[in-house]
Amino acid sequence: MITLQEYLTVAALLFSLGLLIVLFRNNAISILMGIELMLNAANINFVAFSQSLGGLAGQVFALFVIVAAAAEAAVAIAIIVLMYQNLGTTDVEKAKNLNG
């Protein structure tokens, strides 16, 4: 039997890995991948709590997180492609037109 704490440990490690990718990488698509990892860590937490507390509310919540992640990825890819067309790069450090 796998306890709740083990699932939460995996989710915590996955979350901090995603955060590290978001902070470390410059490329916008890499950052998007890090965000997907963080959302997946949240989903693992939801499903683990749903399993240990009983009921299905956590799984329904995870479903909504997946829907939001799909929408977010579509909009983010559109923004990244437009950024490439306008600036010629997907490096987020170079996108500083509003820097003043």
Partner 1 sequence: MGVEKIAFYILSALTLGGGVAILFSVRLMRSVVYLLVSLFGVAGLFILMGADFLAALQVLIYVGGITVLLVFGLMLTGPSQFQNQEENRLKAITSGVCSVAIAIVLLLIVRKTQWPTGGVAASETAGGIGRLLLTQNVFAFEIASVLLLVVLVGVALFMRLARSNRS
Residues found near partner 1 in the complex (CB under 8 A)? 1-2, 4-10, 12-21, 23-27, 29-30, 32-34, 36-37, 40, 43-44, 47-48, 50-57, 59-60, 62-64, 66-71, 73-75, 77-78, 80-82, 84-85, 89-91
Smallest distance, partner 1 to C-beta of residue 64, A: 6
* In the complex, least distance from residue 46 CB atom to partner 1, rounded to whole angstroms: 9
Cβ 57 to partner 1 shortest distance, Å: 7
Q: How far is the CB of 39 from partner 1 (least distance, A)?
A: 9
Specify the residue, 91 or 95, whose C-beta has the smaller distance to partner 1: 91
Q: Please state the three-class secondary structure of the chain as a single string.
A: CCCHHHHHHHHHHHHHHHHHHHHHCCEHHHHHHHHHHHHHHHHHHHHHHHHHHCCCHHHHHHHHHHHHHHHHHHHHHHHHHHHHHHHCCCEHHHCCHHHC
Q: Give the Cα separation of 11 and 31 in Å (integer).
A: 19
